Amino acid sequence: MQAGPSLMRQEIGQQPESLRATIDALLPRRDEVAALAARTSTVLFIARGTSDNAAVYGSYLIQAHAGRLTSLAAPSIATTYKARIDLSGVLAVALSQSGRTEEIVETLAWAKDCGARTLAVTNGGAGSPLAKAADVALVTQAGIEQAVPATKTFTTELAALAVLGLGLGAALDPGQLRAVPDAVAEMLARPVDLEPILAPLAKVQGVVVSGRGMAYAAALELAIKLKEACYLHAMGLSYADLLHGPIAVVDAETPAIVVAADAGPTLVGTVDLARRVSGAGAAVFGIGGGEALAAACTAALAGPALPEWLAPIGLIVPGQLVTEALARRLGVNPDRPRGLSKVTQTD
Q: What are phi and psi of 152, to 5 degrees?
A: -70, -25
Assigned domain for 339 exists: no
Angle (deg, nearest 10), helices 180-189 and 15-26: 180
Percentage of the chain surpassing pLDDT 70?
95
Stretch 187-195: mean pLDDT: 96
Same domain as 241, residue 139: no
pLDDT of the residue at 1? 46
Assigned domain for 70 exists: yes
Chosen domain end from 153, 186, 219: 186
Distances (CA, A) of 34 to 97, 196, 211, 327: 23, 46, 30, 42
Same domain as 277, residue 211: yes
Same domain as 35, residue 140: yes
One-letter amino acid at 5 equals P
Chosen domain end from 186, 218, 234: 186
Residues 18-64 have pLDDT tens digits of 999 999 999 999 999 999 999 999 999 999 999 999 999 999 999 99
Q: Which domain holds residue 72?
A: 7-186
Global pTM reads: 0.95
Same domain as 309, residue 269: yes
Assigned domain for 345 exists: no
Assigned domain for 1 exists: no
pLDDT of the residue at 250? 82
Tell me, what CATH number does 135's domain have? 3.40.50.10490
Assigned domain for 120 exists: yes
Same domain as 199, residue 165: no
Chosen domain end from 151, 186, 221: 186
